[in-house]
Amino acid sequence: MKKAKKGKKGKGKRLKKSSHLKSKIFLIVISILLITTLILSLFETNIFKKDKNLKIHLKDECSILFNNLIHSIKTSGNCKSICSLECERKNLEFKSINFTKKENSCNNCDCYCK
């Protein structure tokens, strides 16, 4: 009996299948990473959080001048007008403010936009 010769064609097909499978797995992994990155970036830009209020803290830059404390945000009216502009700048709707006047420190001004 003659032995059948083992050809190199079998090995070549296996190598092609193996490299084809590796490239498919590589493409699937890259696709999953891209989709995950896209979804995370959508969450970071608050696209899915439109209904929630956004809190913006405005810093009252106060300083001492002639032994008096001078405020950049003096009253709740100042706080409200600055907040309204800040919400508008971010293409959001102004909702409310939380203003706290302090005697010996800088005032607090928190804005809430929707």
pLDDT above 90: residue 96: yes
CB atoms within 10 A of CB 89: 9
Residues 109 and 71 in one domain: yes
Q: Give the phi and the psi of residue 46 in degrees, each rounded to 5.
A: 60, 25
Alpha carbon of residue 8 to chain centroid: 55
Answer yes or no: do 55 and 45 share one domain.
no
Residue 27 inside a domain? The answer is: yes
Mean pLDDT of 37-46: 79
Q: What is the pTM assigned to this prediction?
A: 0.51
Which pLDDT tens digit goes with each residue over 74-86? Answer: 999 999 999 999 9
User: Could you list the residue range(s) of the whole structural domain that residue 36 is in?
Assistant: 9-49
pLDDT (0 to 100) of residue 48:
60
Q: Residue 75 contacts by C-beta under 8 Å, 6 or more apart in sequence?
A: 99, 101
Residue 52 DSSP one-character state: S
Give yes or no: residues 61 and 94 share one domain: yes
